[in-house]
Every structure is written in C-alpha cells, then in structure tokens.
C-alpha cells in the first residue's frame, strides 16, 4: 500500500478541514511513497475522481463529511477491482469513521491511516445505491430533510435528534411489507431502519450491538405506539432495548425486500435519491478499510 489518492472536500467542517490540507499531506508522506490530493468543488466530483484514479492507486482516502464518504463508496463499491479505502473525518456526524475507530481530529486520523491497519467490512446495497451505515424510510427521512446546514454546524450530531424529538406526534403512518430470507412482516409503521454500522447522527443508539463484518443487517420496524419511548431512549443515549419495547419489531437478514403504501422516500446514509419498493442486500467483506 504505497500509492494514495486523497479526495478532499474543502467545504467540510465549516471549511476548517481546508486549513489542514498541507499538514495532512505531510503526515501521509511519512508512510506512503506517493500522495496526491484532489479537491472537490461540487457534488459528483468525488465520483469522477475515483473513476480517474482507482486503477493507479492502492488506497483512496475520503477527507470530508458523511456526504463525501457516501459519494466515494458509491463509486468504489461497484468496481471489480477496488483499492483500499480510508476516511479522514471532517464533517458533522462522521458516522462511519467512528464505526472504524478513527479519531475525530483530522491530523490524528491521518497518523492512524499511516499505520496501515486494515480490515474487510460489509457494504449495504439498495438497488443501485450503496451504504455503509443505514438505510431508512419514514420518520428518519422526514427528520433529516428538515435539518438545515446551520443547525448541523451549530449543534452538530444532536441536530438530527433534536429535530426528531420536535417531530414526535407528527409522524406519518404507512403500510409496510418487510420480507427476509426467514420471515415476512406486514404491518403499519412510522419508520423502518436497516443498519449495517452502529452510528447514526454521531451516537450508537439504534444498533449498539451491530457488526460490520457479520454479513447481516439489523432491522427495526417502528410502530406509532412506540415512538415516544423510542426517542426517549435515543435522548438518554442508552440504546434501543428492542426486547423490552412494545411496538418495535427487530429482525436480522442478509437480504430484505421492502414495499410500502404509499411509496416512501429512502435515506441511505443521509442521501435521499430513490423511493420504495427496494431490495437491499449485504455485500459481505466487500471493502478493505484502513481502521483506527
């Protein structure tokens, strides 16, 4: 692992990451023989850079927030031959970087990457989109759409949950059919979350016991009756105790098909680009990642 491409989003972290670009490069050059920095200017640039460089490098680093990570992983995951992947966190929640134990300080994260410790991790695929953390419909999508950029900068990872708590009682109920290889559940719900990683919005509440190497999704079907206690647990940061909560249906699966009436907008790691129905599958140990 000698040749590195860093896809750098200078707008991340209220542009604080941009001030560290040269220092990050110097740290990486102590461990890698070739380090090239590529700045993104607009949405889609990260994907284009991956297409240009992936055959010529051993490691691609996404330096930015969850949006940058999502764009890069969606370009890497479909490739037949994939370089290793790493993250220098520079955004608000930095969910998957927390999952792989990266220090939430960019310069320290660059030092961690220089150690070159890796493991193979699962990736979720939802039709033609890929995700590392979660796939969601219902309240989680409605909430993330209402979180403005100022809220993210001012209150960071709690923005999602403050907005969610404000939305209690306003959730839209929909009919859902969730079909796994083992069972089929048909019910009403206000939210369905399919988890690969354990962090959403910067805290481990939904799937505290998740495993990104077990080849399984953790799934929660949340009914309207459970919504108050559900978010009380999130607010207290104790994690969801599904075995003790009426109105929450937990499942595990390698592959799941989800149909809804009416159709629901899908949130994949904070990006909303498609709607139900959807077929979601685990791609086991699909990406080699540099970890903390």
Catalytic center residues: 271
Q: Please, are residues 156 and 202 in contact by the beta-carbon 8 Å criterion? A: yes
DSSP 140: H
DSSP H or E segment with residue 151? helix 149-155
First-to-final CA distance of the chain: 16
Q: Which residues are within 8 A (CB) of 212 and not within 5 positions of it... i.e. 6 or more apart?
A: 99, 100, 121, 122, 132, 196, 197, 198
> CA dist 253 to 78, 113, 183, 280, Å?
21, 32, 9, 10
**How far is CA 19 from its chain centroid?**
25
DSSP 98: H
**Which residues on neighbouring strands pair with residue 90, listed in sequence order?**
none
Q: Residue 89's closest CA among 73, 102, 74?
A: 102
Q: Which residues are within 8 A (CB) of 115 and not within 5 positions of it... i.e. 6 or more apart?
A: 31
Using DSSP's 3-state secondary structure scheme, residue 92 falls into coil
């Amino acid at each position: 692992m000698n040749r590195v491409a860093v896809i750098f989003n200078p707008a991340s972290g209220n542009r604080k990451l941009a001030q560290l670009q040269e220092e990050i490069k110097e740290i990486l050059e102590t461990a890698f023989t070739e380090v090239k920095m590529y700045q993104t200017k607009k949405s889609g640039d990260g994907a284009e850079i991956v297409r240009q460089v992936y055959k010529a490098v051993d490691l691609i680093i996404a330096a930015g927030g969850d949006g940058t990570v999502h764009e890069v992983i969606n370009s890497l995951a479909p490739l037949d031959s994939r370089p290793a992947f790493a993250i220098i966190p520079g955004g608000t929640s930095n969910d998957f970087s927390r999952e792989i134990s990266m220090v939430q300080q960019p310069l320290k994260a660059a030092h961690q990457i220089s150690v070159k410790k890796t493991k193979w991790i699962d990736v979720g695929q939802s039709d033609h989109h890929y995700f590392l953390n979660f796939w969601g419909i219902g309240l989680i999508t409605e909430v993330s759409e209402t979180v403005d950029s100022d809220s993210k900068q001012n209150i960071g990872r709690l923005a999602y949950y403050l907005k969610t708590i404000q939305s209690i009682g306003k959730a839209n109920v929909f009919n859902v059919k969730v079909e796994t290889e083992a069972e089929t559940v048909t019910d009403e719900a206000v939210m369905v979350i399919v988890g690969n990683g354990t962090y959403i919005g910067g805290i481990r509440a939904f799937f505290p016991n998740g495993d990104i190497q077990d080849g399984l999704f953790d799934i929660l079907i949340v009914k309207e009756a459970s919504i108050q206690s559900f978010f009380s647990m999130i607010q207290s940061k104790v994690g969801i105790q599904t075995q003790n909560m009426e109105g929450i249906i937990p499942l595990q699966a390698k592959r799941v098909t989800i149909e809804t009436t009416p159709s629901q907008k899908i949130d994949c790691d904070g990006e909303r680009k498609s709607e139900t129905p959807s077929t979601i599958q685990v791609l086991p140990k699909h990406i080699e990642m540099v970890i903390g």
